[in-house]
Structure 1
């Protein structure tokens, strides 16, 4: 008999964190699930650890390294549950994650996706406060969801047939692959919020998608542009200026975030893309144009303008 929920866990050189993630699945108060762990060509002991597990609800798939999107798609192809959830091998869930999310979707047959709150663990400077997102099922849902990815991938429970109809994750995307999927799934159909912190994102020193800020920001922008090309009818109510603010303007804001943090390398990459799109006010271009200079000269100019030649981070 098919389980109610299929959990898909892509794994790549994850043995240091994998036990905690799997324990959080085993601890779920909702027990009608299958866990499909996809080893994506790991070179450490990930595959051996997975194969040593004895819970009958776990299945292991091994493939040559193809990236996280292909790994998730491989798991999705084997999934049999009515609902599907995605948990990376270095993140965890609250024990009530599946029960609360399933309850929300079961009560709303028309909804295709439930999302919840989350907490970032392992960050410094007060950036790890728990967060519960607002209700996005509002008249401006399309605009809100299009502006940015509103939840991490493991803070979602979705109907499997809807995710498969959207063709899952695009293997060519190295960042924003979940954003691209949720645009296809969540904008045209009802979604439901579970107002509780049930998912945990663990920051560590390993390779994580969030580490390359410029690549992530530009990938997000490209996903937006492609979605606009595919579904122009969904934005007919928005002005051209508003659409540019949601795309080029959002990318510019991400460039400024890096700039003011003195992450000049990231800001330079983003500013160059924005300038190619001929976006921004004269004041914006005053900040962006030096990105065309050699980086060492750009940094010197920032220090000179700040009146503190020795004070800028490298």
Structure 2
């Protein structure tokens, strides 16, 4: 497909090259920035399907007030982000699809650069790029470019953790449809679950530039719900293993447990050392129910069976003793 940007879409009978799906819930205060980053794209052959997911603020009115014909508002009852994305995906017409949340942004060259990357690899199903977290305290917003993951160990690396945020990728719409879209049973890790199914079907391409920006603005974002995120990540892993028993056999039972329960245990320790005891306790109990961990691990985990006040007292005593 030609990449000449001298003529802006839309034109009569012309289909967009890229469909952008944006779920929106009470996002009126963010839309000028996020949609503005779409309007600023140097690549113009796009459509933006903005799905209002039962907002109670001015989100839908704002979307309907836009005059650019490439912006296609859609309204539905509140059903969650995965249902909203699936609804937008059902209307998408582009060869490629990108997912941009209503409070995140792209660099102006995001679409142009990602489309060129995919066109350079005819068998590729997905391109991913670097990103930057904006608004995190303590200087934790350094730009990050992930490594090249198109290696013989690609699926193991992707299975271990989600390697890019949802808006740092451009993927084949056909591949997403074949993968079944987003799992509406997952409230977190729904993008991770989708990438596993998509990336197992073809080549992926790294774009070594920071082109996506994740904006932190409060603890109500999905990324701030630590316990649910940890348990949903495990659920996504287990669903993929059930779908792909060949992959489970390839990894072997020991490696599977390391990448699933071992990773969950590590998250539990992270919260334990931060003294986020409620989250750590819930994770530890999940790991113990699965019979995972060394004797040393169990020495840390077993007190989570006690009442929380008793566990807290034991932790305090351990801290006093150094």
**What is the TM-score with the length of structure 2 in the denominator?**
0.94
Show the counterpart of 2:104: 91
Show the counterpart of 2:215: 202
Rounded Cα–Cα distance in structure 1 between residues aligned with 2:38 and 2:309? 48
Q: How many residues align?
A: 309
Show the counterpart of 1:53: 66
4+ long deviations beyond 6 Å: none
Q: Does 1:39 align with 2:39?
A: no
Q: Does 1:77 align with 2:87?
A: no
- The Cα RMSD (Å) is 1.2
Rounded Cα–Cα distance in structure 1 between residues aligned with 2:321 and 2:73? 56
Rounded Cα–Cα distance in structure 2 between residues aligned with 1:29 and 1:70? 30
State the 1:232 CA deviation.
1.1
Show the counterpart of 2:260: 247
Q: Secondary structure at the match of 1:30?
A: coil
Structure 2, unmatched stretches of 5+, are 1-13
Of 10, 15, 18 in structure 1, the residue corresponding to residue 28 of structure 2 is: 15
**1:56-76: per-residue Cα shift (whole Å, max 9, x none)?**
110000000000000000000
The 5-angstrom pairing of residues 135-284 of structure 1 reads 135-205=148-218, 207-284=220-297
Rounded Cα–Cα distance in structure 1 between residues aligned with 2:199 and 2:280? 31
Rounded Cα–Cα distance in structure 2 between residues aligned with 1:206 and 1:306? 28
State the 1:206 CA deviation.
5.9
**What is the TM-score with the length of structure 1 in the denominator?**
0.96
Show the counterpart of 2:11: none
State the 1:238 CA deviation.
2.2
State the 1:255 CA deviation.
0.8
Rounded Cα–Cα distance in structure 2 between residues aligned with 1:287 and 1:171? 35
Q: Secondary structure at the match of 1:192?
A: strand
Show the counterpart of 2:18: 5
Rounded Cα–Cα distance in structure 2 between residues aligned with 1:206 and 1:60? 27
State the 1:308 CA deviation.
7.3
Q: Does 1:296 align with 2:292?
A: no
Structure 1, unmatched stretches of 5+, are 310-314
Show the counterpart of 1:124: 137
Is the Cα contact below 8 Å between 2:110 and 2:212 reproduced in 1?
Answer: yes
Q: Secondary structure at the match of 2:201?
A: coil
State the 1:126 CA deviation.
2.3
